[in-house]
Amino acid sequence: MALRHPYPNVYKFYNQFAAPDQASPEQSSRSQGLRKSGPRSKTGCSTCKQRRVKCDETKPGCIRCQNLGRECGGYAPEALDETSKSIAPVPIHPRPMSVMTYSPSMAIPGTADERRYFQRFCDKTAAEICGSFDASFWTEKVLQLCHQDAPIRHATIALGALAKSLEVTSFPTRLSLSGFPQIDLHHLDEHHKYALRQYSRSIAALRIILSDGRRHLRTSLTSCVLFMTFEALQGCYEGSLTHLRGGSRLLADWRTARRGQSSRLSQDSLSEIQDGLIDDLGRMFARLDVQGLFVPPPFPMPESDWEDVVVADSFDSVQESRESFDFLMQGIGQFYRKSVAHSQQHPEKLTTPFWLHQHNHYSTQLDQWRSAFQVVFAKEVRAGDTMADSSDMLSIYFNVATVLLASSLEHTELLYDEYTELFQEIVTKAHKLIQSSDDPSNSSRFTLDMGTILPLLVTATKCRDRRIRRQAIALLWSKARREGLCYDTITVARLCAWLSSIEGDGVQEDGERIPENKRYMVSYLHLSSEERWLAVQLTSAVTNGSGNHTYRETTFSW
């Protein structure tokens, strides 16, 4: 069944606006006041001089050229006057080129309302969205691109307005199943209406840019992330997953082209995006792909090449270890999903060389990652530079990856009993993270990053220790929060509590083992954002005396 966008009115805005101003980067960041006249600088790089634009004169290569994906032509040697010839030369050290030093101007083109919501995005929304990692992408790179790309600028304004709407809309009578404000197009506040208008302007501006037939990787992929975020923040998981699939396909085309194989991407599209930005986007899509893999029925995603998932022998920082783990977790998640689908058609153990070879590869890489992570973590602890929350989150997801990989070749619910200690560690560290005040996204009700919800979901559905399961469900109930594209705490808590009540029927004591014939798997989920219901189906872990599985179904509505 084709996915239907739950907010069709958004797309009615397409033709209601003229094309956004295609202001050049220098016009976007220029002060609204009159420019004082004076001699034109002649010290810029040769590329900026040829383009007749102001150069920031960063050496050895200017940031403007980097941002536009151009090769900086460098600088002409400075002429010395007579007085300077006798002065001893002073060594010039290149200015750091890291985007971490970038401080975006707030002087974006547009109305006072647009600048106000953009300021809200800069001051608060970006930090709330990014989570423990990738802060520079949201707080610097996206803001930098706002001065160059109209679709990105309008999308950030839309996010700022939508976040403001959710901030002021907190009346209990308007909360949905997940504890978030209901999305009712007939009773939207002014902030939300403004957000939808800006969202439609962003889509329209992107269509104009793409009308030349090129892919415009930088603008398209960054806009795709912002669109996913907007849909997820509204609670529209169908729309967010659709954008995820489109962005993942575009990234797959980019990887194909980079390997020199035939691709739909032009050389211009490949050269316009910086390696640093494509790396950020690749890691982000890898993490979001993992979320899409755990939404039954399987949401179609381009698969990564498992042989490309190779972990380095060592890491320079915890951040680098996270970047490596993103792709490793994606590969393990895809392998798990494929093995589950295969086991449903062929119930026997997956012992063919094809499956064993991949399993051994991921096991080796996971062990290598753990060894390298432990070394860099210990080094940062000694130096006092450790990122405690980030390290705890990585440890949690390492446990999740371990459990998923172990259960990939033998699909029996009894297998999970061997990992009770890992489940307890997940719950303990998740509790610590939820109580932490160090993570700025913890103070918000939404983050695009993967947080504690998915690990707690795995724990509450696969761990049959009743005490640990209750702890996991209690943590989900403790705070209304949405993470990623489609996970929110209250919805997941209700699902897990229902499963626990079914499996625990007749089990009296915490230490009493839940027999295999009472265990169930979540086999189907479907959430309708428009009609406001969540359908869930459970399938028994083993067949009954007649050789058939038992099914349980329910629908949560709000």
Mind listing the pLDDT tens digit for each residue in 36-89?
A: 333 334 567 776 666 555 576 766 676 556 544 456 767 665 443 433 333 333
Highest mean pLDDT among 22-26, 44-48, 436-440, 497-501: 497-501
Question: Which of 6-15, 117-126, 472-481 is predicted least confidently?
Answer: 6-15
pLDDT digits (tens, 9 = 90+) for 121-145: 999 899 888 876 567 889 888 999 9
pLDDT digits (tens, 9 = 90+) for 354-365: 889 999 999 999
pLDDT digits (tens, 9 = 90+) for 87-107: 333 333 333 333 344 455 567
pLDDT of 420 higher than 80: yes
Cβ atoms of 204 and 14 closer than 8 Å: yes
Strand-pairing partners, residue 552, are 538
pLDDT at 365 (0 to 100):
95
State the Cα–Cα distance between residues 148 and 104, nearest whole angstrom. Answer: 12
Q: Which residues contact 175 (CB under 8 A, 6 or more apart)?
A: 181, 182, 480
Query: Mean of the pLDDT values across residues 218-228?
Result: 92
Higher pLDDT, 6 or 77: 77
Question: Which of 32-46, 198-212, 323-337 is predicted least confidently?
Answer: 32-46
Around 245, how many Cα atoms within 13 Å sit in the side-chain half-sphere?
Answer: 13
Q: Which residues contact 22 (CB under 8 A, 6 or more apart)?
A: 150
- Backbone φ, ψ for residue 557 (5° rounding): -125, 160
Count of beta carbons in the 10 Å neighbourhood of residue 372: 18
Two tokens at 440?
Answer: 């700025």
Cβ atoms of 166 and 521 closer than 8 Å: no
State the Cα–Cα distance between residues 305 and 20, nearest whole angstrom. Answer: 40
pLDDT of 453 higher than 50: yes
Domains and CATH numbers, the chain: 1-23+109-300 (no CATH), 41-77 (4.10.240.10), 303-409 (no CATH)
Cβ atoms of 507 and 514 closer than 8 Å: yes
Question: Which of 5-9, 199-203, 254-258 is predicted least confidently?
Answer: 5-9
Beta strands 551-557; 533-540: pairing state: antiparallel
pLDDT at 284 (0 to 100):
86
| Mean predicted lDDT score pLDDT of the chain | 77
Amino acid at position 283, single letter: R
pTM of the entire predicted model: 0.74
The percentage of the chain sitting over the pLDDT mark of 90, rounded to a whole number, equals 35
Strand-pairing partners, residue 243, are none
Taken as a whole, the chain contains a residue count of: 558
The percentage of the chain sitting over the pLDDT mark of 70, rounded to a whole number, equals 69
